[in-house]
C-alpha cells in the first residue's frame, strides 16, 4: 500500500499538461463537378476520335490502289536567252 500512496503523491505533484494551442483550420473547398462528369467527357472524346478515324479511313479508301491519272507537264517558255544572260548568274 505504501507504494500506491507514493505513486498517487507523485501523480498529484506533476503539473497538468499544457493545453494545445488552438489551430484554425482552413475551410474545405467546395466540391467540384465530380468524377462522373470527367468520365463522360473522356467517353465523348473517345467517340469523337473514333468517328474521325472512321471518316479518315473512308476518305482514304476511295483512292484504293489505283495510280493517279498521268498528265503531261506543260513546257515552260524560256524567259532569258542563255547567250544574253549575265555571267556569274
Decide if 19 is inside a domain: no
What pLDDT is stored for residue 72 in this prediction?
86
pLDDT digits 0-9 by tens, 45-88: 999 999 999 999 998 888 877 777 788 888 888 877 766 666 66
pTM, two decimals, is 0.41
Give the largest CA-CA distance in the chain: 131
Residue bearing the bigger pLDDT, 26 or 44: 44
Which string of DSSP letters, residue by residue, matches the chain?
A: -HHHHHHHHHHHHSPPPPPPPP-PPPPPPPP-S-HHHHHHHHHHHHHHHHHHHHHHHHHHHTTTTPPPPP-PPPPPPPSS-TTTSPTT-
What SS3 state is found at 14? coil
Count of domains forming the chain: 1
Decide if 42 is inside a domain: yes
Residue with cell 476511295: 62
Range of the domain at 54: 34-62
Query: What average pLDDT does range 8-34 have in this prediction?
Result: 74
Amino acid at each position: 500500500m505504501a507504494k500506491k500512496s507514493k505513486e498517487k503523491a507523485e501523480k498529484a505533484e506533476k503539473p497538468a499538461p499544457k493545453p494545445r494551442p488552438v489551430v484554425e483550420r482552413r475551410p474545405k473547398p467546395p466540391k467540384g463537378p465530380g468524377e462522373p462528369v470527367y468520365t463522360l467527357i473522356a467517353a465523348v472524346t473517345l467517340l469523337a476520335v473514333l468517328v474521325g478515324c472512321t471518316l479518315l479511313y473512308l476518305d482514304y479508301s476511295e483512292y484504293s490502289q489505283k495510280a493517279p491519272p498521268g498528265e503531261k507537264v506543260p513546257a515552260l517558255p524560256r524567259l532569258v536567252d542563255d547567250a544574253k544572260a549575265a555571267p556569274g548568274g
